[in-house]
Each structure stands twice: as structure tokens, then as C-alpha cells.
Amino acid sequence: MIEQVRVYLSRWNRDQDIIEMDASTATVELAAAALGVIPARIAKSISLRSADGAVIVVVAGDVKLDNRKFRDQFGFKARMLNSAEALQCTGHAVGGVCPFALPPGVAVYLDNSMKRFRTVYPACGSGNSAIELTLAELEEYSQSKGWVDVCVPYAQGIPDSK
């Protein structure tokens, strides 16, 4: 999976910027600890069932989906893919699901919860990888369909750096 992401990111000359760690980054907390950043800066890719298979919503690491907002935005109930479905639909295993190198038809949306940061850290297809990207880079590289507001509001007063 990480090799597919490496090839995918090479079109922007960012393949060498993937950070591979000895420690697991499979959860927000583990990724934040391994990278030395606050959990909110981890760009969590949530894979959900859609009528066409799957949709990925990338959110800040300190928020969770708001079911009503999600339904209002997308017109269907938020149902997370299980481990087997995530691998089948996204090509990435849980813990490494990311918005890159996805099969055709998997739409990616970015949640406004990340807009308070200059850079965020999405996974890169494995349970021990990440890359630091600006929001504009994340939007471009993920081929995002756009920004949405589908999360429970984050706590105020969180610093915008580190």
C-alpha cells in the first residue's frame, strides 16, 4: 500500500517526503506521539459506505463525525467500513487508510476541522507512515471533491502550531 502511495505522490515529487517510523501510527494518538505533534494535526481518513462503494472524509484528529451533519451533507447515514471492506474499497488497510492512490470512484472530502492548521499529517498507506502537507497540498493530492462541515466542533483554544 505504501509503495502505491509513494508512486502516486511522485507526480508531485513528494514521494521522498513520506515519513516512515519504527513506531505504529495506526491511531491518532500513536501517530501524534510518533510525530511529536498534537493529535488534532493528524489528518484522520474516515472510510464510509456510500451508494457507489466508499467515500473518504479527512478530518482533524481531535474531532468525530456528527451524524446529522453528515446525513444533511451527503444524503445517507454515516456507516464506517469494517476492516475487510476498507481494504477492498480503498486499497488500504485500517490504520493506513489515506486519501491517496485510491481506486476510481472513491470520492474524498476534506472537513473544515483541519482549517485551523497550516499543515496536517495524513497517513500514507501503512500503519507506520505519514506526510506533512499544507491544506492546499492535501486538497490537490487527494483530488478532493471539496470542503465539508460534518464534524462535532473541536475544542476552542488549541494552538495552531506544533
Q: What is the pLDDT of residue 157?
A: 43
Q: What is the pLDDT of residue 53?
A: 84
Q: Residues 45-102: pLDDT tens digits?
A: 999 999 888 999 999 999 999 999 999 999 999 999 999 999 999 999 988 999 999 9
3-class DSSP state of 80: strand
Pairing of strands 19-20, 129-130: antiparallel
DSSP character for 89? Answer: H
Is residue 105 pLDDT above 60, yes or no? yes
Q: Is residue 158 part of a domain?
A: no
Query: Residue 79 CB: number of other CB atoms within 10 A?
Result: 12
How far apart are the C-alpha atoms of 148 and 32, rounded to whole Å? 24
Q: Is residue 25 part of a domain?
A: yes
Q: What is the pLDDT of residue 67?
A: 93
Look up the domain containing 144 and give its range. 2-148
pLDDT over 90, % of the chain: 87
Buried b (16+ CB within 10 A) or exposed e, 25-56: bbebebbbebbebbbbbbbbbbbbbbeebbbb
Q: Is residue 159 part of a domain?
A: no
* Cell 491518532, located at residue: 28
Q: Where are the beta strands (DSSP E) in 51-150?
A: 53-60, 107-111, 119-122, 129-130, 133-134, 147-148
The whole model's pTM is what?
Answer: 0.91
Beta-sheet strand order (sheet of 133-134): 133-134, 119-122, 42-50, 53-60, 107-111, 147-148
Q: What is the pLDDT of residue 91?
A: 92
Q: Is residue 94 part of a domain?
A: yes
Q: Is residue 160 part of a domain?
A: no
CATH of the domain at 84: 3.90.960.10
Q: Is residue 111 part of a domain?
A: yes
The total domain count for the chain is 1
